[in-house]
């Protein structure tokens, strides 16, 4: 490597100029920094949730309703039982409504509406619905079911607002999953002389099931954390109720109301409730991921 006079030239030819090398390094560093910055809030939120939330956790915390008695420093403010149960009840009802409709619309989009202008329109509206602010969904229900009927807040109204919110999420994710089902499978079944509805129920949906479940779980996770649609539909209350026709408490609404409180113990309860809610949502996300890993589709 020394004999040739041209060697230094050669090295120069194969080297990236220092300036370019610097800008490459700088850009990579910036990108990495950006990624780290993005993760900082996650770490901080989780840290504070654990730090503050665990202080509030106790068996008493999970098994009692809020007492509403927050005026004196040493009074028992109660826990989050009604909020947890209310969230579960309303989200369950919302899922019962939104899952069949959401998947039904996705099936229609993929299996029947393909290429049709009306399907394009529906798809566009579903897309747009995913961007409607959640509080607006709450007001929709308020107008129709509270002003419209002259009645007051109720658990099922909250559930309906949540189902409006879940619907586009479920439809979009289900559509994506159904599109992943190879057309060859549909064709094989059709070529065997199967009717389309049987192809859908016996071949397409079973093949897509894990993806559908993942989408549904993510939609449920999203609905479980929503406050705004519930504020003016299910209201807020202290007592546990199994009657969806009554006011119903929920974790997000209780957190929201507790945050505004001037009493420290109530704010602590908000942290505890927030930790509970996040754990619940993370579990749903985790299960969704595990389910999607079992997918038969690419």
Q: Which residues ranging from 208 to 267 are in contact with other proteins (CB under 8 A)?
A: 209, 221, 224-228, 231-232, 252, 255-256, 259, 267
Among 55, 60, 196, 294, binds other proteins (CB under 8 A): 196
* Smallest separation, CB 211 to other proteins (Å): 11
Nearer to other proteins, 92 or 279 (CB): 279
Residues 99-128 that bind other proteins (CB under 8 A): 101, 104-105, 107-109, 112-116, 118-119, 121-122, 124-128
Any contact of residue 291 with other proteins (CB under 8 A)? no
Distances (CA, A) of 108 to 94, 132, 285: 21, 23, 27
Any contact of residue 150 with other proteins (CB under 8 A)? no
* Smallest separation, CB 91 to other proteins (Å): 12
Site pattern 64..93 for other proteins (x: CB under 8 A): ------------------------------
Stretch of 26-34, 78-86, 88-96, 238-246 contacting other proteins, by CB under 8 A:
26-34
Stretch of 4-12, 35-43, 64-72, 154-162 contacting other proteins, by CB under 8 A:
35-43
Q: What are phi and psi of 14, to 5 degrees?
A: -90, -5
**Three-class DSSP labels, 134-174:** HHHHHHHHHHHHHHCCCCCCCHHHHHHHHHHHHHHHHHHHH
* Sign of torsion over alpha carbons 250, 131, 117, 108: negative
Nearer to other proteins, 155 or 225 (CB): 225
DSSP assigned state of 202: I
Among 98, 139, 145, 165, binds other proteins (CB under 8 A): 139
Q: Per the structure block, which two tokens stand in for 192?
A: 């065997």
Torsion of CA 24, 25, 26, 31, to 10 degrees: 90
* Smallest separation, CB 121 to other proteins (Å): 7
Any contact of residue 50 with other proteins (CB under 8 A)? no
Any contact of residue 38 with other proteins (CB under 8 A)? yes
Q: Please, where are the H alpha helices in the chain?
A: 7-14, 18-56, 59-63, 81-107, 117-129, 134-141, 155-180, 183-191, 196-198, 205-224, 228-231, 251-259, 264-293
Q: Per the structure block, which two tokens stand in for 21?
A: 């090398």
Closest CA to 264 of 83, 80, 77, 81: 77
Any contact of residue 16 with other proteins (CB under 8 A)? yes
Residues 156-195 that bind other proteins (CB under 8 A): 167, 176, 179-195
CA–CA distance, 128 with 132 (Å, rounded to integer): 7
Any contact of residue 48 with other proteins (CB under 8 A)? yes
């Amino acid at each position: 490597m020394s004999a040739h006079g041209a060697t230094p030239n050669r090295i120069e030819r194969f080297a990236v100029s220092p300036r370019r090398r610097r800008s490459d390094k700088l850009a990579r560093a910036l990108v990495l920094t950006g990624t780290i910055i993005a993760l900082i809030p996650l770490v901080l939120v989780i840290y504070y949730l654990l730090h503050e939330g665990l202080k509030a956790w106790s068996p008493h915390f999970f098994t009692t309703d809020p007492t509403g008695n927050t005026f004196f420093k040493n009074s028992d403010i109660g826990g989050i039982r009604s909020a947890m149960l209310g969230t579960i009840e309303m989200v369950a009802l919302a899922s019962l409504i939104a899952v069949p409709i959401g998947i039904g619309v996705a099936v229609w989009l993929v299996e029947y509406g393909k290429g049709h202008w009306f399907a394009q329109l529906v798809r566009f509206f579903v897309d747009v619905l995913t961007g409607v602010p959640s509080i607006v969904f709450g007001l929709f229900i308020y107008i129709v079911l509270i002003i419209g009927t002259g009645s007051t807040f109720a658990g099922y109204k909250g559930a309906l607002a949540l189902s409006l919110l879940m619907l586009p999420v479920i439809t979009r994710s289900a559509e994506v999953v159904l599109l992943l089902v190879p057309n060859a499978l549909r064709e094989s079944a059709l070529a065997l002389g199967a009717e389309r509805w049987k192809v859908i129920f016996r071949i397409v949906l079973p093949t897509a099931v894990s993806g559908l479940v993942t989408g549904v779980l993510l939609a449920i996770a999203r609905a479980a954390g929503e406050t705004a649609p519930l504020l003016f539909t299910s209201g807020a209350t202290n007592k546990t109720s199994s009657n969806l026709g009554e006011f119903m408490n929920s974790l997000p609404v209780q957190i929201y109301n507790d945050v505004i409180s001037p009493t420290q113990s109530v704010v602590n309860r908000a942290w505890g409730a927030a930790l509970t809610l996040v754990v619940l949502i993370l579990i749903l996300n985790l299960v969704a991921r595990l389910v999607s890993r079992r997918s038969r589709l690419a």
